[in-house]
Amino acid sequence: MNPLAADAARMQADVERYVRLESPSADAPRLDALLEVVAAGWERLGGRVWTEPAPQGAHLCVEIDGAAGREAELPVLLLGHHDTVWPVGALPLRAADGILYGPGVYDMKGGLVVAETAVRALRASGRAHRPIRVLVVADEEVGSPTARHLVRDRATGSAAVLGFEPPHPDGGLKTARWGSTRLRLTCTGRESHAALAPDDGVSAVDELVDQLGAVRAATEHREGVLCNAGTVGGGGRTNVVAGDAWCDLGLRFETPDQEADVLARLAALRPVRPGAVVRTEILGARPPWAATPMTAQLLTVATTAGEACGQSVTGRPARGGADTNLVGGLGVPVLDGFGPVGRGAHAPDEQIVISSLAERAELVTELLARL
């Protein structure tokens, strides 16, 4: 029997408390209010806690000493974030038939509770363990613009990095991640009256439509490449030839070579219409995190830990990007996906399986004791 099963109700209550403290990216007051509650939990575990301020929300750092005799060993970093993609009031919080629904419950407030519960159980067990670092960042969902240096700094010199993002749908861990780039494509034309002098104008909207066709040609049906036109805007009035238009693209790449090739093609886009101007601007990027022998070894330890808990642990690469992309090339073994089992990240049916909270915490407790 899972020794953490008795904690299941408390874990669910903690997740619900975190979810009720809604925390959209860039909403610093709400993010900081949630972080204060998360920090208090780590302080109760005896962690040394401090925050790193940032304009759009502070980041949380925690240090927990190793057990007696292991104080001088390299630490394990537990990595997570407390921002969500959801505006306030977007989704209801509810539980039904063993499933908990709500904004950020899967991505990734459930993971924050798993991490805290695992460390609590580890310290209560009296088992020897390395020092533990914890980093919870405020802007992961928008590319970690203010946290990326902190992520790399806290990961450097660690014995391992464990990410608490959602797992694969079957519970599998994540052993590598595709890179992700947010790119803005901007078209500038020339405004004029759409009826009296249409030929004097240059439509930025029409130019954008054609440029998106060129983007599709550069990315569609290419192995290891994904492209999503996520946001589009421009123009003003129906009786004015549009003078500006733009689109934000979400790009995914399996390898650095694919990334370099596609970005070079998009940077070389040229106007279709005389007088139009086309520009590309990278808004944020995370490099591909490639599988390494070190991560394979870490997965073996996690698999053994799972066997000790009666759990079958598997791992494979993921297409989605996260902060583990930022540390995958630092020469440190990395595994991600230690959050609870569920589905619907960034979707209206975001949910977790309540019973998996205790299961994942048991796995992490065992893994920390074996590292």
Counted domains in the chain: 2
**Dist CA 241 CA 14 (whole Å):** 54
Do 221 and 323 fall within a single domain?
Answer: no
Domain of residue 33 covers 5-176+288-370
Identify the pLDDT of residue 1. 59
Instruction: Copy the structure tokens of residue 178.
Output: 């595709």
CB within 8 Å of 180: residues ≥ 6 apart: 143, 250, 251, 252, 253, 285, 286, 320, 321, 325
Do 54 and 171 fall within a single domain?
Answer: yes
Do 150 and 215 fall within a single domain?
Answer: no
Q: Confirm if 95 and 13 have CB atoms less than 8 A apart.
A: no
Identify the pLDDT of residue 303. 98
Q: Confirm if 362 and 4 have CB atoms less than 8 A apart.
A: yes
Do 63 and 27 fall within a single domain?
Answer: yes
Identify the pLDDT of residue 4. 76
Do 115 and 229 fall within a single domain?
Answer: no
What are the CB-based long-range contacts (under 8 Å, 24+) for 9-15?
11/113, 11/114, 11/117, 11/357, 11/358, 11/361, 12/95, 12/100, 12/354, 12/357, 14/41, 14/113, 14/116, 14/117, 15/100, 15/105, 15/109, 15/110, 15/113, 15/352, 15/357
Do 267 and 310 fall within a single domain?
Answer: no
Q: Decide which of 244, 268, 286 is a domain's last residue.
A: 286
Q: Decide which of 286, 320, 342 is a domain's last residue.
A: 286
CATH number at 350 reads 3.40.630.10
Beta strand residue intervals within the chain, DSSP E: 48-52, 59-64, 76-81, 94-96, 99-101, 132-137, 160-163, 173-177, 179-188, 225-234, 244-253, 277-286, 315-318, 334-335, 342-343, 351-353
Digits of tens for pLDDT over the chain (371 positions)? 577 777 889 999 999 999 999 999 999 999 999 999 999 999 999 999 999 999 999 999 999 999 999 999 999 999 999 999 999 999 999 999 999 999 999 999 999 999 999 999 999 999 999 999 999 999 999 999 999 999 999 999 999 999 999 999 999 999 999 999 999 999 999 999 999 999 999 999 999 999 999 999 999 989 999 999 999 999 999 999 999 999 999 999 999 999 999 999 999 999 999 999 999 999 989 999 999 999 999 999 999 999 999 999 999 999 989 999 999 989 999 999 999 999 999 999 999 999 999 999 999 999 999 99
Identify the pLDDT of residue 2. 72
Do 321 and 187 fall within a single domain?
Answer: no
Q: Confirm if 207 and 271 have CB atoms less than 8 A apart.
A: yes
The one-letter code for the residue type at 263 is: L
Do 207 and 299 fall within a single domain?
Answer: no
Do 95 and 171 fall within a single domain?
Answer: yes
Do 78 and 164 fall within a single domain?
Answer: yes
**Dist CA 326 CA 36 (whole Å):** 25
CATH number at 233 reads 3.30.70.360
Identify the pLDDT of residue 157. 92
Do 268 and 146 fall within a single domain?
Answer: no
**Dist CA 146 CA 52 (whole Å):** 10
Do 337 and 245 fall within a single domain?
Answer: no
Torsion sign, CA atoms 339, 341, 343, 347: negative
- HSE-CB at 364 with a 13 A cutoff on CA atoms is 36
Choose among 334, 333, 353: nearest CA to 343.
353
Identify the pLDDT of residue 152. 97
Q: Decide which of 286, 313, 339 is a domain's last residue.
A: 286
